[in-house]
Amino acid sequence: MAVPAIAPQPLSLRLLATSRRFLHWLTKPHVILALIMLVLMFYMVIIPLYKLVETTVTWQPTDLSRVPDAVVGEFTLFHWIRMLTGIFGRIYTYTPLQHSMTVAIGSVVLSLLIGGSLAWLVVRTDMPGRKLVNQLAVLPYIMPSWTLAQAWLVLFKNRLSGGAPGMYEYLLGVSPPDWLSYGPVPIIICCALHYYTFFFLFVSAALMSIDSNLEEAGELMGASRWRILRKITLPLVLPALLSGFIMTFSKVMGTFGGPNILGSPIKYYVMATMLRGSLAVGDKADAFVLAIVLIMFAMVTISLNQRLVGTRKSYETIGGRGFVANASKLRNMKKIIFTCVIIFQLMVLVVPLGLLTYDTFLLRSGDYSFSNLTLQNWIGKANPIYNDGEPGVLLNPKVYQTAWNSIKLALYTALFTALLGVLLGYSIVKGRGTRLSKLVDQLAYIPYVIPGIAFGAVYIAMFARKMGPLPSLYGTFALLVIVSVAKHIPYSSRSGVSAMMQVGRELEEAAQVSGANVWQRFRRVIFPLTMSGFVSGFLLTFITTMRELSLIILLVTPATQLLASLTMRYIEAGRDQMGNIVVLILVAITVTGNALIGRFTGGSLKKGLGM
């Protein structure tokens, strides 16, 4: 018996069914949230990048002095040709780029040696005091990156290029060479001592997951320790090493404080200092070309990282069989190695802060005798003879206002960013596998590849003038909040996704069956269960924003001055003692905030970094 053919549905019915399915999909909470996040990411990331590029390919008012017949706003490649060719390109682009690459690669290598070695000692040996070493290894990241650079100058500043001598010359009577006082060597050392935390955290996490049986099998086969390290251990921790490389390289490429303090006195300019210098003289389009070059280098670096990781089929280190993590025996060297590690960590933390503290009590720079000690820089009254007539820091209303600006910016940014991270995590995880979810995730990742000072330049391009309903925000506190939130979206989204992945779908479904609406489900179920991710994202953002300089150095004005930018202003004006006091205040606020937030909420910097 023949089966009767099913008559095709009319086109109108098919369209009606499709529209109903579309409306059903569109009204899902995670889809609505994902679309809102998509618009937000587009506005905060894509449009600023477009404005940045647009500025570099159009005539600007400042160009009329060079090309009188230019028409402002019309298309031109003048700035690209000017910055990438000839002697101008060599001086303003290629030489600073070479310096940036030198500093970044040197910092990565030294950070790897320090962080990787500490991670191996803490995770894979029986060294005593490993918990203490683990805690101390995170603290350098909390301090501003240029703290070590300032302490380096207190110790090694010389008369040849810096005027007053440092403590080294004062005590030994011998001037240190220029290469030790300024330039790539001290910049690399100071950056590495600050950023080795990344390698320590990533490599520690990787080593914890490596089964010791793998290494013992190599040893039973007769392989030497070096061969086991090269053929077994290193390939297994390669993703962690590459993650540390990306974090350190991108941070150093865009850092401003250390290179400005240790490089500018001898005209050793990197891309960040050259970008700021170009903006300072009004060459906005030229500066944006440098920003785009920085962004392109960061994108190429991350692309190479993904390509290298993708060449291996698997990095699995935990299987169904029993997991074994045997600690290497240090035997008689345990106490000696522990002592050396603690001394090193204390030198990185205590010595710089001690040098800066002592320097703040000096009345005249370069004279480290006890007879030159004073409280003028701390509590002295306004005197035209000292510090350009400003009172001591603790009696200076401007400093208190600046400190409040920094705290307020860090709190606002941390709150908005952490909340945004939870919302992004919800929209990405609940729609996992869909094109919309992937697109939101990719857009949220873009600020990660943009160096801080380049990202600040992006927001100058967007908010320097009125755009649609938004007024010009340049010089306002709101702009600092917006740019800080946008820059930290990648970190908050990672924390949000990690926390959301731990929440079972059935929990929200049970609340929905019980009659809870979307807001009730989020408030009573989702948010409490993802609180650890929220707090960790809040903590990381608070710390980073408090000590951030590269991101905001192009955007601050006298009315929106922050502690980080005020420090640099004092240093550039030759008032090192005042600048060092502000650095110490900044460190104290950051450490106190970190301790209080972690103590009362249970969050941690490791979780914020995705550990």
Q: For position 218, what pLDDT does the model report?
A: 61
Q: For position 316, what pLDDT does the model report?
A: 45
Q: For position 611, what pLDDT does the model report?
A: 44
Q: What's the one-letter identity of residue 403?
A: A
Q: Which domains does the chain have, with CATH numbers?
A: 29-310+339-366+387-608 (1.10.3720.10)
Evaluate if residue 125 carries a pLDDT over 70.
yes
Side-chain half-sphere CA neighbours of 291 within 13 A? 34
Q: For position 319, what pLDDT does the model report?
A: 44
Q: For tokens 């590849």, what's the residue?
A: 449
Cβ–Cβ contacts within 10 Å for residue 447, how many?
Answer: 24
Evaluate if residue 599 carries a pLDDT over 60.
yes
What pLDDT band is residue 471 in, cutting at 50, 70 and 90?
confident
585-590 — which CB contacts under 8 Å span 24+ positions? 585/393, 585/399, 585/403, 586/144, 586/406, 586/546, 586/547, 587/142, 587/143, 587/144, 587/147, 587/353, 589/403, 589/406, 589/407, 589/546, 589/563, 590/142, 590/143, 590/144, 590/543, 590/546, 590/547
Q: What number is the average pLDDT over the span 17-39?
A: 74
**For residue 347, what are the CA distances in angstroms to 136, 151, 201, 339, 516?**
11, 11, 20, 12, 56
| 397-430 and 531-546 helices, crossing angle to 10° | 140
Tokens of 425: 């995590």
Cα–Cα dist 364/163, whole Å: 12
Q: Go through the chain and tell me how many residues it has.
A: 611
148, 92, 96, 113: which is closest to 254 by C-alpha?
Answer: 96
| 576-601 and 397-430 helices, crossing angle to 10° | 40
Query: Which one of 153-167, 284-298, 307-321, 443-457 scores highest in mean pLDDT?
Result: 284-298
How many percent of the chain have pLDDT more than 90? 30
Exposure b/e, 175-191, CB count within 10 A at least 16 = b = bbebebbbbbbbbbbbb
Residue 264 or 504, more confident: 264
Q: Which residues pair with 125 in a beta bridge?
A: 328
Q: For position 149, what pLDDT does the model report?
A: 93
Tokens of 587: 């460190």
Q: For position 151, what pLDDT does the model report?
A: 93
493, 494, 499, 480: which is closest to 413 by C-alpha?
Answer: 480
Q: What number is the average pLDDT over the span 160-174?
A: 81
Lowest mean pLDDT among 190-199, 572-581, 590-599: 590-599
Q: What number is the average pLDDT over the span 103-129?
A: 91
H helices present in 470-552, as ranges: 477-487, 489-500, 505-513, 518-521, 527-529, 531-546
What pLDDT band is residue 396 in, cutting at 50, 70 and 90?
very high
Evaluate if residue 268 carries a pLDDT over 90.
yes
Lowest mean pLDDT among 175-179, 495-499, 536-540: 495-499
Evaluate if residue 603 carries a pLDDT over 60.
no
Q: Which pTM does this prediction carry?
A: 0.84
396, 539, 565: which is closest to 480 by C-alpha?
Answer: 565
Backbone dihedral region for residue 338 (phi beyond 0: left; psi -120 to 50: alpha; all else: beta): alpha
What pLDDT band is residue 388 in, cutting at 50, 70 and 90?
confident
Evaluate if residue 531 carries a pLDDT over 80.
no
Q: For position 263, what pLDDT does the model report?
A: 92
Q: For position 441, what pLDDT does the model report?
A: 79
Q: For position 225, what pLDDT does the model report?
A: 62
Q: What number is the average pLDDT over the span 524-540?
A: 76
Q: What number is the average pLDDT over the span 365-383?
A: 90
Cβ–Cβ contacts within 10 Å for residue 419, how many?
Answer: 17
Q: For position 57, what pLDDT does the model report?
A: 94
Backbone dihedral region for residue 93 (phi beyond 0: left; psi -120 to 50: alpha; all else: beta): alpha
Residue 315 or 367, more confident: 367
Lowest mean pLDDT among 58-72, 193-207, 414-428, 486-500: 486-500
Evaluate if residue 495 carries a pLDDT over 60.
yes
Side-chain half-sphere CA neighbours of 132 within 13 A? 10
Q: For position 4, what pLDDT does the model report?
A: 59
Q: For position 443, what pLDDT does the model report?
A: 80
Evaluate if residue 104 carries a pLDDT over 90.
yes
Question: Contact, 380 vs 607, CB < 8 A?
Answer: no
Q: For tokens 């004092």, what's the residue?
A: 570
Q: For position 75, what pLDDT does the model report?
A: 93
Give one DSSP letter per residue of 393-419, joined into a string. Answer: GGG-HHHHHHHHHHHHHHHHHHHHHHH
Q: For position 313, what pLDDT does the model report?
A: 42
Q: What number is the average pLDDT over the span 201-228?
A: 69
Q: For position 314, what pLDDT does the model report?
A: 43
What pLDDT band is residue 46 in, cutting at 50, 70 and 90?
confident
Q: What number is the average pLDDT over the span 106-115?
A: 95
Average pLDDT in the chain? 82
Cα–Cα dist 343/602, whole Å: 29
What pLDDT band is residue 402 in, cutting at 50, 70 and 90?
very high
Helical (H) or strand (E) element with 273: helix 271-280
pLDDT tens for residues 53-96? 999 999 998 888 888 888 988 999 999 999 999 899 999 999 99
